Structure 1
Amino acid sequence: MTRTFGTLREAKAEYASIVHRRYEAARAPLSQVTVDEWLDQWLSVKAEDLEESTAYSYTMTLARLRGRLGRIRLQDLTEDHVDAWMRWALQEGRGRGGKPGTGLGATSVEMSLARLKEALDRAVTQGLLQVNVAREVTVPRRARKAERRAREAVPPWSVTEVRAFVRAIAGDRLQAPFLLALMGLRPAEICGLRWAAVDLGEATVSITNTRTVMGNDIVVEKDAKSLAGERQLPLPAPVAAALTAFRAAQADEKTAAGQGYEDSGYVLVDARGKALNGRQLRERAYKVMDRSGLRRVRCTTPVRAA
């Protein structure tokens, strides 16, 4: 049976309703419900109260568990199962194709455990389980400290390094977006920024929108995360000049492309007007860093003196 809906939210709500009715109809053989099946049911209902990007994050976070725990009957799941998964994830969780690999970070493992605990809490409420067997499973303090030390071992750029990066991007097509990153804008904010929010006359930029890509092709655009995230910032003279030059360059590119130009209104676009995403912005920044002999860092805002 195929049905269509006006919005993704309506489709998800109907899907959740179908899953719930199917579950109620098959409620008698509770002993056959697997961890995978319960996570599917829990996620379908939970997604109704989550933003699309958050629901996607939940799905990806729980996917780390499914390979080793998913086929276990929900009522057979034990604390030992969960603890064994946690220790495996810390040691080999990044393996691909069955080959041993490096472990997941402590924070990633903690996020997966948190979602599993939340799903099992619901199973207890529904009477499927007597206790939440994951409740007392925690990432060892030693692993958390090791992750913290590893992060501290890679300090952010010094002022000298930031100045070197600014020199390296001079004349680069994406100089303006790179400078916005140095101002502290997040990749999602730069990707969601439209020219309508940039006032070159007053030298200000309004941050009200974010744009992210889930997986490889699902675009999610939404308001800033909070009222504090919605802000108007003054544009330093070099940034305003770079944005002015970037807008002029895009006008020339639009003329050259003709009808093939995608006039989206975004600031961060390629030469044919197609909006770029945060991953593409980081990859291009990394190329500049590598070419200039600079350390790769995710945050390019200077926080310590040279």
Structure 2
Amino acid sequence: MFIKSFHKQLIVLFVTASLFYSCEETINPDLEDADPKLVVDAWLNNKVEDQVVKLSWTQPYLENTLPTGVSGATVVVTYDGGEVIFTEDANAAGTYRWTPTDVTSADVFGTIGRNYKLTVQVGAETFEATSRINRTVAIDSITFEFEESDPQYPDNSYTAEFWATDPVGKGDTYWIRSYKNGVALLKPSEINVAYDAGFTAGGNFDGVTFLPPLRSVNPDEEDENDEPLSPYEPGDSVYVEIHSITLEAYNFLNQVIIQTDRPGGFAELFSTPLANVSTNITNLDPNGTKAVGFFNVSAVSGMGKKLELE
């Protein structure tokens, strides 16, 4: 019995060692190049500032360069009673911009409940997408906490969170965008979306204070040894915005998180397989080239605070 048991243990050890050795082996896959597709990056809002639509082409998966901008396109957003024409930036190919003429008054994107249609014409092809601007929620306050001992951060760290209450009425969806010292937190692990005051439709967190994990507005930063850093230090500032988004945009961002926040290593064996992320961009020609990306128009509330010791 002892010999049989020892023999089984040797087999297990050998298989385990082989598995980890395989994980370290360098593989250079020979991937086929797909035809380029139009990428539409159109996240507009009701802030009185420049609104920007970015157009680019997809590129091979292993290409280590920035995507090529799409020049010469026609970009228009229409709504009941008006239209907004976006003009290509002369210094940034593929960047189309609209600047409000009167920054002291609400711009045309400021009406909650209004429907919008984006039309993009590239060559002989025309692409469209629609979005509705939903209500957002005001931020009540931002607080900093001194953490003497927290397993996620080094000892004596400062963390931040916002406080807000979801309005009564199920189905509100939000993108919570945070900035540290004016720099947006856009890593996959820092994307923060909410359904009402919780994570999913089944959570039943309508009309209550946002849950603690959602309230966290801390950057995911590491030092040169890959050790976590304190999210904030005295003198740092945090700015938080709550963007209302459509349910389709909420699903899109959740898919982005799943497809881009990859732990790597052995854990990848149990991760969700890579897949295409959904889009609301449609080619008017059903037999034409498919596009990727997303169009959403948000109502935005915001608040900022600086970490100052008393």
| TM-score tier (shorter) | under 0.3
> Of Structure 1 and Structure 2, which has the larger fraction of its residues in strand?
2
**TM-score when normalising by structure 1:** 0.22
Q: RCO higher in 1 or 2 (8 Å CA, sep ≥ 6)?
A: 2
